[in-house]
């Protein structure tokens, strides 16, 4: 879930694309594709995968390929090394008799170097149901938390950043009191200079620890933007500070205090997103009605959470939301990032207290409570936020929703995804 630093003066779709990153083009291309153009199958319907290896647009003959076939994030059902005499071969992938995803991963060896790609077939994904528990006191738990938050003064401090300001936009480093005295929330605020009232976008972050530069481009277009960090530290420090924190004090933060629902790390994070909206809606430039939230990965999760908790939010746009149906592994299927219960992490988290905590924080239980329209996008090849986990949340959403699938994308986006998401979001508030 590591992401790159944000650059300024970028449209929102580029801003999101840099946030998430894209794979670099390679000299040798391994292509894997199911035999349905939409990668969709009914339960019990057979799938065939085609593996192709190309160099300079032509098939590579007699190339050695190792492939693995199985449900996403699970141990492979089949593993085989073959020689592609013509550079292309079709593989019988079998089927799934339950809703889910079947993935073929291929690794080709060319001139002593390995090249990897994958494809993932969906079997009735609209029928995927969540595994995570829905606590009976979920609503009262968060209602109490929001009431307690409202009692804490914002104590907002805004520091102008002259070198980032433009002819049309003022840029500030903001510092707000979060859900307890001494707990702070930091971000980059961009406000149009021209006098008037403006809609607002809250940008919530993907996982990691990094500085931020803000969404200046949309502020130039007449939108107040606030890009926040989640760790209670300034977001304008030197990069080495964040690198030190990643390997030190904040290493493994998604599991901090996970056995206590009242002290779990994400409680302050979720409430901090609402507190960011408290600040945005308090600004004299805010138009009093148009407030939206967007982000990718962990930020996709926070977009759904924020829209569910804060009734001031009118729309959300989420790219491949993390923290969705994290208990899937306990039912022998993929669970969401940060993979608390996969084979590498299960021993550290498989306790009743952890299970209880996560019910209050899983995106599934916020998705089922959404009441506002949302735009969502992801691909089937995501190995960080498995599509099984995302569909588990998406299928529960009863409010208006749109899903834009870019099938072959993994934990990255095409420009077209960002453009579609941006155009949808901005059209709602302009």
Active site residues: 297, 382, 411
- How many CB atoms sit inside 10 A of residue 26's CB? 11
* Three-state SS letters, the chain: CCCCCCCCCCCHHHHHHHHHCCCCCCCEEEEEEECCCCCEECCCCCEEEEEEEEECCEECCCEEEEEEEEECCCCCCEEEEEEECCCEEEEEEECCCCCEEEEEEEEEEECCEEEEEEEEEEECHHHCCCCCCCCCCHHHHHHHHHHHHHCCCCCCEEEECHHHCCCCEEEEEEEEECCCCCCEEEEEEEEECCCCCEEEEEECCCCCCCCCCCCHHHHHCCCEEEEECCCCCCCCCCHHHHHHHHHCCCCCHHHCCCCCCCCCHHHHHHHHHHHHHHHHHHCCCEEEEEEEEEEECHHHHHHHHHHHHCCCCCEEEEECCCCCCHHHHHHCCCCCCCCCCCCCCHHHHCCHHHHHHHHCCCHHHHHCCCCCCEEEEECCCCCCCCHHHHHHHHCCCCCCEEEEECCCCCCCCCHHHHHHHHHHHHHHHC
Is residue 108 within 8 Å of residue 61, measured between CB atoms? no
Q: How does strand 100-110 pair with strand 63-71?
A: antiparallel
């Amino acid at each position: 879930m590591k992401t790159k630093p944000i650059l300024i003066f970028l449209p929102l779709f580029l801003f999101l694309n840099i946030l998430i990153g894209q794979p670099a083009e390679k000299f040798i291309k391994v292509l894997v594709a199911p035999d349905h153009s939409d990668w969709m199958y009914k339960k019990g319907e057979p799938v065939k995968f085609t593996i192709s290896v190309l160099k300079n647009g032509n098939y590579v003959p007699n190339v050695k390929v190792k492939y693995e076939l199985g449900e996403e994030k699970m141990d492979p059902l089949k593993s085989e090394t073959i020689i592609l005499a013509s550079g292309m071969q079709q593989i019988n992938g079998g089927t799934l008799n339950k809703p889910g995803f079947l993935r073929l991963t291929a690794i080709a060896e060319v001139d002593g170097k390995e090249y990897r790609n994958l494809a993932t077939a969906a079997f009735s994904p609209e029928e995927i149901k969540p595994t995570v528990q829905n606590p009976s006191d979920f609503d009262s738990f968060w209602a109490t938390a929001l009431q307690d938050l409202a009692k804490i003064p914002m104590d907002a401090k805004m520091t102008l950043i002259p070198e980032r300001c433009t002819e049309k936009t003022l840029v500030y480093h903001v510092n707000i009191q979060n859900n307890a005295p001494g707990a702070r929330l930091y971000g980059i605020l961009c406000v149009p200079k021209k006098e008037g009232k403006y809609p607002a976008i809250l940008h919530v972050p993907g996982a990691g620890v990094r500085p931020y530069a803000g969404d200046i481009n949309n502020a130039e277009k007449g939108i107040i933007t606030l890009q926040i960090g989640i760790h209670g530290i300034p977001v304008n420090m030197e990069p080495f500070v964040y690198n030190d924190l990643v390997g030190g004090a904040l290493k493994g933060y998604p599991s901090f205090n996970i056995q206590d629902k009242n002290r779990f790390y994400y409680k302050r994070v979720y409430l901090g997103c609402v507190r960011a909206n408290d600040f945005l809606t308090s600004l004299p430039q805010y138009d009093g009605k148009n407030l939206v939230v967007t982000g990718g990965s962990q930020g996709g999760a926070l977009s759904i959470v924020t829209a569910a908790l804060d009734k001031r939010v009118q729309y959300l746009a989420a790219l491949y939301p993390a923290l969705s149906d994290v208990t899937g592994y306990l039912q022998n299927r993929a669970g969401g990032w940060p993979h608390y219960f996969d084979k590498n992490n299960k021993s550290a988290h498989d306790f009743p207290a952890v299970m209880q905590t996560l019910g209050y924080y899983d995106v599934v239980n916020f998705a089922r409570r959404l009441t506002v329209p949302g735009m969502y996008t992801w691909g089937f090849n995501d190995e960080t936020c498995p599509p099984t986990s995302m569909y588990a949340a998406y299928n529960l959403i009863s409010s208006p929703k749109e899903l834009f699938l870019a099938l072959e994308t993994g934990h990255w986006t095409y420009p077209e995804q960002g453009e579609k998401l941006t155009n949808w979001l901005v059209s709602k508030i302009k």
